[in-house]
Amino acid sequence: MVPQGVSQAAIRPRARFLGLEDIPQLLRLEARQWTPEQAADEAALQSRILAHPDLCVGAFCPKTGEALASLFMKPACREALVAARSWHDCAGQPGGAQPGGSLFGISLTSVDPEAACQLIRFFWPHALRHGWRDIYLGSPVPGLRRALQEGLAPDAETYVHSRRGGLPTDAQLRYYHRKGFREIVGVRPDYFPHADSLDHGVLLRGTVPLAAAWSLWRILPFAVLRRATHWAGALL
């Protein structure tokens, strides 16, 4: 419940591009969500920010300044991602920053659903301005081990494509589906270490809404573009 006299905007997580000064907070965020084997270390975070500072975003608590979500991306080639067998293969693929290109989400870490939404809202006009059309990422499937143990699915492929009420059965895939990552590109065994997923990962693709009009977005004043995405976001 919002206290009287305080606007919703004042208490929403605040998203912005990340800098090296954010690394201590990002390390704490990594430790909150991931195991030591899964979490990025200081060197990895520094490398990501230095390589693509315009593709690294975070969302922070407006009261405490605590990091609540982070998203690290890099340019990618669809053909290379489809051929990749593991997260390391995807994250290590070189990619050219060409208009109309694709991005790979190296890592999406969030301990607050609203913070994750703010990341996407913040980055959307930047993606349109630079011509990014889609984003790929690898998702764990934390319900897989239980589903196979209890005989709810015969194999990982069947489980990943199963639906309940029109949405993915797996809770993590359902979460990403609601964030716009609705195309299942492939199921990858030994993708990354994740016990409940039996080390499986699912390569997902999400399209950037309105990206087809890149020729317009690249010349529109950025302030106007930002307002346009805010207005469009209420309708999509």
Q: How does pLDDT run across 154-188, given as a tens digit for each residue?
A: 999 999 999 999 999 999 999 999 989 999 999 99
- Domain assignment of residue 99, given as a range: 72-233
Which residue, chain included where needed, has tokens 């208490």? 11
Domain assignment present for residue 194? The answer is yes
pLDDT on residue 2 = 47
- On whether the CB atoms of residues 184 and 194 are closer than 8 A, the answer is no
pLDDT on residue 179 = 87
Pairing of strands 102-110, 56-60: unpaired
d(C-alpha 173, C-alpha 164), whole Å: 12
Domain assignment present for residue 65? The answer is no
Q: What CATH number does the domain containing 211 carry?
A: 3.40.630.30
- Reading the block at residue 225, the tokens are 């573009």
pLDDT for 236 beyond 70: no
pLDDT for 140 beyond 90: yes
pLDDT for 6 beyond 50: no
Which residue, chain included where needed, has tokens 């964030």? 179
**Total structural domains within the chain:** 1
Domain assignment present for residue 34? The answer is no
- Mean pLDDT over 144-154 rounds to 97
Domain assignment present for residue 55? The answer is no
Q: How does pLDDT run across 11-58, given as a tens digit for each residue?
A: 789 999 999 999 999 999 999 999 998 999 999 999 999 999 999 999
d(C-alpha 189, C-alpha 221), whole Å: 45
